[in-house]
Amino acid sequence: MYNQAGVDALDEVRAVVASFGAPIAFRKLYGLLNAMEMHVEETPYSVEALQHLGKALEATARLYQVDQQKHTQLVWRRR
């Protein structure tokens, strides 16, 4: 069953990632965000897997030295 509420819940995370700008280096962030969205599209889904994808998103933001304020927004939105 398609989980529109789960997909909609990622809108805030998507907005934060979009605020990072368009450099190609951020394609990995978008890839992880898309993986999160695909994961929650269908129920049931694994909360544990979603948490791991979120941690990967945070780690990638750190790798590219995303502005600390935006990184904090990303962590806060994910929770």
77: its two tokens: 């939105």
Residue 10 lies in a domain: yes
The total number of structural domains in the chain stands at 1
Report how far residue 41's alpha carbon sits from residue 58's, in angstroms, rounded to the nearest whole number.
Answer: 21
Read off the pLDDT band of 58 (50, 70, 90).
confident
Cα-based distances in Å from 70 to 8, 16, 56, 73: 20, 7, 16, 5
Domain holding 26, by residue range, is: 4-46+60-74
Residue 27 lies in a domain: yes
Residue 13 lies in a domain: yes
Residue 66 lies in a domain: yes
Residue 36 lies in a domain: yes
Residue 37 lies in a domain: yes
List, for residues 7-56, the tens digit of each pLDDT value.
998 888 888 888 877 676 678 888 999 999 999 999 999 999 999 999 99
